[in-house]
Structure 1
Amino acid sequence: MVQFHIQPDSDIPASTQLYDQIWFAIASRQYPPGYRLPSTRQLAMHTGLHRNTISKVYRQLEDAGVVEALPGSGIYVREQGVGESARPQSALWDEFPQARSVVESGLDELLRQGCSLNQARELFLAEIDWRLRCSARVLVTVPSQDIGAGQLIVRELEAALKIPLQLVPLEELDAVLAQARSGTVVTSRYFINEAEAIAAPKSVRVIAVDIYDYKKELSLLKDLPQGTCLGMVSLSTGILRAAEVISYSLRGDDILVMTAQTEDSYKLGAVVRSAQTIVVFDEASLPTVKKTIAAARDDLIRPPHLVVCDNYIGEKSITLLKRELGLD
């Protein structure tokens, strides 16, 4: 069971602390699709929160579309992403009346050869994506307020997939897809519902990538001496916001947390001058952090200890994406 930590004297509401920690567990695949979340009674015993507060958090997660309540059974993590919005609509069968028999006969033949339905689906998607790859675009989308997260996704996927990707703010996705509907939209699991709401009516597939679980960094956080000033640097405002909430939830006022986006030179300078340890959440930010430390060396008794995260996207997610795009 994932360990949740609630600081009762924090300025952050207890419900927000629990909500962010559960959503992080889902986004990082610690709670995979189909996983049954702890009951309100279990969480109440573990966190000390009232069951009404936990029920409220579960309703918020259900409203966000990341979990679903099954009466008499419990709360489960929803299956999202991977090809759900690419399913053919009934209008297509009317437009191409022979298509149904072609698809059904092909599928029946694969089943006779011993393929499962999931295997057959993968074969179809791999072939289709392979044929579309030369002309179709792979779009990465996130809200404009956290465009840094999109930059991280693009940077890591271009290095892993060896194909060009286009970064599109979520607010502009509808207009971009209206111009060219072929292709695949990739986003973080945090934004999957918003992206699918835009892409599904256009029969454009949306694939969610899972973020890194940051287990190593969380272990470090728990072991920091009391009174430590911890700096956090990233391109993504979303990562910094979640990391700050989780840090205070785990340690409360035991440590001081300072955050800075890479492009904010003033805040970054303050972090470098004050923090004993700095977690750099993406390698793209590392050169700027090192440059800032070098520029401030005359003001530092000793340089801060740097902890650099390996990646932003989970390795399993990249492997699955390669297969979905026919690149594996």
Structure 2
Amino acid sequence: MVQFHIQTDSEIPASTQLYDQIWFAIASRQYPPEYRLPSTRQLAMQTGLHRNTISKVYRQLEEAGVVEAMPGSGIYVRAEGTTEIVKPGSPLLEKFPKAQELVENSLDELLRQGCSLHQARELFMTEVDWRLRCSARVLVTIQKEDGAGELMVRELEQALKIPVQLVPLEELDQVLSQTRSGTVVTSRYFISEAEAIAAPKSVRVIPIDIYDYAKEREMLKKLPKDTCLGLVSLSTGIIRIAEVLSYSLRGDDILVMTAQTQDEQKLSAVVRSTQTIVALDTASYPAIKDALLAARNDIIRPPEIIRCENYIGEKSIELLKRELGLD
């Protein structure tokens, strides 16, 4: 079970701390799609928060589109799903043994609704053709102030081997008004806002899962008391989540300093004052090394640098390849 910790003397409101921690658990697949979240009573016992506060956090997550309430059952992570369609008898059935059943069930449902076989074929082919057209233009969107968009574009272009365009969420409506097809990619944190803009324009949105930082969290638990920890990233959003998680795990046992790679003054302070630095994304690692090199004459003992994996999870990359016809 995921453990949540609330820092009572933090400047960050308790509800925001819990929201960020639950969102991170969902985005990193510690809580996978269709997973039933803990009840308000369970979370109240674990965190010490009032159940009304926890209910408010769950409502905010539901409004954000990452969970859904099932009356009489509980709160569940919103499910995402795609269907592979293959011709009966295809060798692909050996690779996807449940594909035949999925195709048959979909076709049977269309026939029950009065659709002919020729019409059903047209529907399937239209959907496939549309998705292939959408793959010709891939847009990454998140809020401009978050800063992770540049990182997502860099990792997606490297993995997919196709051009990827960065569009701030604040400008997405305008950009989509000028295009006839495309695929929008965003983190689950912004899925609700992106879908609200893209759906009326018949543009699909694919959410991605982020790296779960499991190794780094285990490392954090083992740091000596009074360690000064540095957190560095391109993104203010990534830094905020990492800072909340760090204090939730260690509280006042450690001191946390943060810096964006673009802020040379803060980054210099981090490399001069900390014992351990976590590069929260691969793009930040070179900037940390450069800052260390620049400050080498003032540092007696250089800090240990922990280099994180790619920000976008491998499963999300594979899903995108299939969705875009690149697999």
TM range (shorter): 0.7 to 0.9
Kept in 2, the 8 Å contact 1:187–1:208? The answer is yes
Greater Cα shift, 258-267 or 136-145: 136-145
For 2:220, the equivalent position in structure 1 comes to 221
The residue type equivalent to 2:249 in the other structure is: L
Question: How is 1:284-299 mapped onto 2 (pairs within 5 angstroms)?
Answer: 284-299=283-298
Secondary structure of the corresponding residue to residue 301 of structure 1? coil
Question: How is 1:166-181 mapped onto 2 (pairs within 5 angstroms)?
Answer: 166-181=165-180
Question: How is 1:62-141 mapped onto 2 (pairs within 5 angstroms)?
Answer: 62-79=62-79, 104-106=119-121, 128-130=130-132, 133=135, 136-141=136-141
Over 3 Å counting, the alpha-carbon distance change for 1:76 and 1:294 in structure 2 is same
For 1:198, the equivalent position in structure 2 comes to 197
2: CA distance between counterparts of 1:210 and 1:289?
25
1: CA distance between counterparts of 2:246 and 2:118?
51
For 2:42, the equivalent position in structure 1 comes to 42
The residue type equivalent to 2:259 in the other structure is: A
Q: Could you say what the CA RMSD is over the residues aligned between the two structures, in angstroms?
A: 2.1
For 1:18, the equivalent position in structure 2 comes to 18
Over 3 Å counting, the alpha-carbon distance change for 1:197 and 1:105 in structure 2 is closer
Q: Which has the higher helix share?
A: 1
1:6 aligned onto 2:6:
yes
User: How far did 1:273 drift?
Assistant: 0.4
1: CA distance between counterparts of 2:186 and 2:81?
9
For 1:152, the equivalent position in structure 2 comes to 151
1: CA distance between counterparts of 2:52 and 2:274?
39
Over 3 Å counting, the alpha-carbon distance change for 1:225 and 1:58 in structure 2 is same
Over 3 Å counting, the alpha-carbon distance change for 1:129 and 1:55 in structure 2 is closer
2: CA distance between counterparts of 1:298 and 1:103?
75
For 2:303, the equivalent position in structure 1 comes to 304
TM-score (norm. length: structure 2): 0.85
For 1:230, the equivalent position in structure 2 comes to 229
Kept in 2, the 8 Å contact 1:189–1:208? The answer is yes
Kept in 2, the 8 Å contact 1:27–1:210? The answer is yes
2: CA distance between counterparts of 1:11 and 1:103?
62
Using CA pairs below 8 Å that are at least 6 residues apart, which structure has the higher relative contact order? 1
Secondary structure of the corresponding residue to residue 179 of structure 1? coil
2: CA distance between counterparts of 1:82 and 1:177?
23
Number of aligned positions between the proteins: 296
Offset from partner CA, 1:9-30 (integer Å, 9 cap, x none)? 3332222221111111111111
Over 3 Å counting, the alpha-carbon distance change for 1:40 and 1:74 in structure 2 is same
TM-score (norm. length: structure 1): 0.85
Over 3 Å counting, the alpha-carbon distance change for 1:303 and 1:245 in structure 2 is same
Offset from partner CA, 1:289-322 (integer Å, 9 cap, x none)? 1011011011111111000101100000100110
Kept in 2, the 8 Å contact 1:10–1:252? The answer is no
2: CA distance between counterparts of 1:66 and 1:260?
29
Q: Which runs of 5+ in 1 are unaligned?
A: 84-99, 109-120
The residue type equivalent to 2:18 in the other structure is: L
The residue type equivalent to 1:16 in the other structure is: T
Secondary structure of the corresponding residue to residue 219 of structure 1? helix
2: CA distance between counterparts of 1:4 and 1:281?
21
Q: Which runs of 5+ in 2 are unaligned?
A: 84-114
2: CA distance between counterparts of 1:168 and 1:81?
25
